[in-house]
Amino acid sequence: MIILRCFWSVLCMASVCCWVRAAEEPRKPNVVLIISDDHRHDALGVVQREMGDRANYPFFETPSLDRLASGGVRFRNAFVTHSLCSPSRATVLTGLHSNQHGITHNAQPFTSTETWPAVLGANGWSTGYFGKWHMGAQRERPGFEDVATFVDQGIYEDCPFVVDGKDTPTKGWVDDVTTGYAIDFIKEHKDTPFAMVVGYKTPHDKRTPPPRLADKWQDREFAAPGSFQDVAPWRKANPPKPWDPKNPDRLAYFQTLAGMDENIGRLLDTLDAVGLAGDTLVIYLGDNGYYLGEHGLGDKRTAYEESIRIPMLLRYPRKLPEPQVRDEMVLNLDLAATILDFCGLEPAWRQSGQSMVPLLAAEPGKVPWRESFLYQNYEDPAYPKVTFDLFAVRTPTHKYVEVPQHPEWNQLFDLEKDPKEMNNLIADPRHGDLLAKMQGEMRELKSGAGLDTP
């Protein structure tokens, strides 16, 4: 009897130990990556308030994105390495430059299996993609199991979706619909690790805000940006029209962002309601920046700050309980390595980006970090008359822009003294040493990206 009691005691202790170890085993993080279309870096309420008297859109508010920022990390200097929708999105999935993953314009399908969602899916995460994908007219979403998406650009109202391969009509504003599918996925997979991408159409043109916001800020007038008259070299033969302070498309840019912000609030509320906020890595970014008249430009693609700089926010309370504002230069190129690092995994392919996990775990200045990065853009077959190959190097203080087919368009800027990039130093002999240094940096960065040139 004594032996039997000892046996049961040992068995119970072993069971308790196993239970304690299981209880202490950290839960794998859920991943929610939210990506918008054409969201410039300063179109955030928190940034406009931070700018104070320099704010160009002081009326604009984004309470949900500000909520995300206040509970996580806001990157003041986040950039893309190719300011165009499809190349940027492929870079987010792979951690590779556009010349490396092969997506250099918007009409190409993406077929790579070397993506962070594919790695997570092979290691026990449920994966889902919801909303805009934008790789040509592609219907497939490689690396994702549950899919509710639309083809190409879609439309803002009553957009046809492809739900798990089946054409499905929808009713309502497209980003509302996307969010509904994403919320259903969170609720369905709340008890097991999941990874999802939510792709919003906002604020891509032709911009149509949801009806509930159609009258918001209707009386707002927009002043021309300070660099509007400093026309980009490639626009001088086709100068912009006179500035219109009541341009309705410019107003719709902010109205659609307000609608998207509401939907991000719905996602965050859902994570709170199911008790997953602390265990979920949430990342928000724009796929590229956007010109609202700077240097006489609209759209993006070229290398001025408004095109290449993006909003980027990251929240993961379990690992990063205190809010941070970081000034290091981080890239969309870094997200694949960062996500996998937070999940305790590594990609099988060589990354061109860097994991931000060590950076965020340390005080600013304690972890060596990049002092420059390479930007690239290519002539688009769909728009050969208005697009061209372009490369740039940005450092914390300077930028060098090179247009191989039009060297007369090359640029050199001192970003500390000239943040609006209106004083091109390229022909100033006093800056010859700086120019040579930046050209050498470009050669080195191109070589590292597999873009060796003579």
Q: How far apart are CA 157 and CA 170, in angstroms?
A: 9
Last residue of a domain, one of 360, 379, 398: 360
- 291 and 330 both lie in a single domain: yes
In a domain, 346, yes or no: yes
What does the pLDDT look like over 391-412, one tens digit per residue?
A: 999 999 999 999 999 999 999 9
What does the pLDDT look like over 6-44, one tens digit per residue?
A: 444 444 444 444 443 344 467 899 999 999 999 999 999
Q: How far apart are CA 165 and CA 150, in angstroms?
A: 10
In a domain, 383, yes or no: no
In a domain, 382, yes or no: no
Last residue of a domain, one of 360, 375, 400: 360
- 292 and 427 both lie in a single domain: no
Question: How many Cβ atoms are within 10 Å of 52's Cβ, its own excluded?
Answer: 8
Quote the Cα angle for 404-408-410, to 5°: 65
In a domain, 11, yes or no: no
pLDDT-derived band at 362, boundaries 50, 70, 90: very high
Q: What is the CATH number of the domain that holds 425?
A: 3.30.1120.10
| Sequence-ordered list of residues with C-beta below 8 angstroms from that of 421, at least 6 positions apart, any chain | 227, 295, 304, 305, 399, 411, 413, 415
Number of domains in the chain: 2
- Residue-range definition of the domain harbouring residue 134: 28-360
- 442 and 353 both lie in a single domain: no
Q: How far apart are CA 284 and CA 268, in angstroms?
A: 12
In a domain, 64, yes or no: yes
**Among candidate residues 195, 178, 79, 193, the one with its CA nearest the CA of residue 132:** 178
Query: What is the rounded average pLDDT for all residues in the chain?
Result: 94
Q: What is the mean pLDDT of residues 298-321?
A: 97
Residue 433, both tokens? 């040493």
3-state secondary structure of 234: helix
What does the pLDDT look like over 329-343, one tens digit per residue?
A: 999 999 999 999 999
- 355 and 394 both lie in a single domain: no
Q: How far apart are CA 309 and CA 297, in angstroms?
A: 15
- 341 and 429 both lie in a single domain: no
- 258 and 133 both lie in a single domain: yes
Residue 315 forms beta bridges with which residues?
Answer: 282
pLDDT at residue 424 greater than cutoff 80: yes
Q: What is the mean pLDDT of residues 408-421?
A: 98
| Sequence-ordered list of residues with C-beta below 8 angstroms from that of 359, at least 6 positions apart, any chain | 326, 328, 330, 367, 369
Q: Which amino acid is at 97?
A: H
- 285 and 198 both lie in a single domain: yes
- 298 and 442 both lie in a single domain: no
- 324 and 393 both lie in a single domain: no
- 331 and 187 both lie in a single domain: yes
- 129 and 250 both lie in a single domain: yes
CB 120 within 8 A of CB 31: yes
Q: What is the CATH number of the domain that holds 132?
A: 3.40.720.10
On whether the pTM is more than 0.85, the answer is yes
In a domain, 82, yes or no: yes
In a domain, 381, yes or no: no
Kindly write down the DSSP assignment for every residue of 334-396, as one continuous string: GHHHHHHHHTT---SS--SS--SHHHHTS-TTSS---S-EEEEE---TT-TTT---EEEEE-S
pLDDT at residue 111 greater than cutoff 50: yes
